[in-house]
Amino acid sequence: MAVPAETRILAEDDEIALRLVEHFGVLKEELIQVVLAAVTARRDCTDDDPINAPGTFSYHLGTRAMRVLFRSKRWERHRPNGIESVLNPETGQQIVFQNVDLAAERTRDPQALSPKESGSKEFIEAGQGDLFRVLADDIEPILTVGEVWYLCVSCDEVTGVRAELSRPFPVINRKFAKFHERIFIVRKGELDGPVLDNDIDMPQQDYDIRISRK
């Protein structure tokens, strides 16, 4: 399967807002709350936590917040091939939370902090065609009726908080080869010293944490 020559990048507020509402039924502000939940979890870690705690906590809280948001919009929890995601039962679209090295940068595609394994490769490829695979009894089948998207979040003291919602091309050599489309949610400098906003409609959400740089 050939890699697309050019990636569609949406970086302007009006085009981002329209795309998110029409294609996913969400607002940019709602996705930012998911990003902040993940970043808060990462920055709550201390030197006494295990070395992998920042990424682990970010992934867990990011996935939880993503599910809280999308389940309020009638999406469902999904676990194809053991990959935690949300699924739109009407369109087959699926979204996975992903920590990456650098998000929302035009000159670089984001890469997962951990290599993508064979399960992720099959999961992404499934969204390209018309495949249905039945796996082990305790794992949901891969359902390939819709697109596979990743909510990519990066956070460090140099590049700050960044995020994008992007649709990757199938994995090559355990990495994202390229992307069909990238929707920039948070760019550099946009969330310096952010605060979680409890006014955003995020059912079951109980975050009330101020984020400060350590």
Residue 168 in this model has a pLDDT that exceeds 50: yes
pLDDT of residue 174: 64
Q: Which residues contact 24 (CB under 8 A, 6 or more apart)?
A: 93, 95, 165
Q: Which two tokens stand for residue 211?
A: 């984020």
Question: For the segment 74-126, what is each residue's pLDDT rounded down to a tens digit?
Answer: 999 999 888 999 999 999 999 999 999 999 999 999 998 876 554 455 555 55
pLDDT of residue 206: 42
* Residue 167, in any domain of the structure: yes
* Residue 200, in any domain of the structure: no
The whole-number average pLDDT for the span 197-202 is 46
* Residue 198, in any domain of the structure: no
pLDDT of residue 212: 38
Contact 194, 161 (CB under 8 A): yes
Q: Answer yes or no: pTM beyond 0.85.
A: no
Dihedral-angle region of residue 171 (phi above 0 means left; psi in -120 to 50 means alpha; beta otherwise): beta
* Residue 197, in any domain of the structure: no
More confident of the two residues 51 and 143: 51
Lowest mean pLDDT: which of 1-10, 40-49, 93-102, 192-201?
192-201
* Residue 106, in any domain of the structure: yes
pLDDT of residue 128: 55
CA-to-CA separations, 60 to 40, 55, 139, in angstroms, rounded: 11, 9, 19
Question: For the segment 30-80, what is each residue's pLDDT rounded down to a tens digit?
Answer: 999 999 999 999 999 999 999 999 999 999 999 999 999 999 999 999 998
* Residue 58, in any domain of the structure: yes
Give the closest residue to 14 by CA, choosing from 26, 3, 28, 34. 28
More confident of the two residues 133 and 168: 168
Contact 186, 101 (CB under 8 A): no
The whole-number average pLDDT for the span 158-186 is 88
Helix locations, the chain, DSSP H: 13-24, 28-43, 53-71, 118-126
**In whole angstroms, what is the distance from residue 128 CA to residue 51 CA?**
36
Count other Cβ atoms within 10 Å, centred on residue 95.
Answer: 27
* Residue 77, in any domain of the structure: yes
The whole-number average pLDDT for the span 176-186 is 93
pLDDT of residue 122: 59
- Which of the four pLDDT bands, split at 50, 70 and 90, describes residue 201? very low
Find the helix packing angle between 28-43 and 53-71, rounded to 10°: 150
Give the closest residue to 20 by CA, choosing from 180, 181, 161, 204. 181
**In whole angstroms, what is the distance from residue 156 CA to residue 162 CA?**
9
Say how many domains are in the chain.
1
Domain boundaries, position 174:
8-186
* Residue 208, in any domain of the structure: no
β-strands 76-78, 85-87 pairing = antiparallel
Residue 195 in this model has a pLDDT that exceeds 70: no
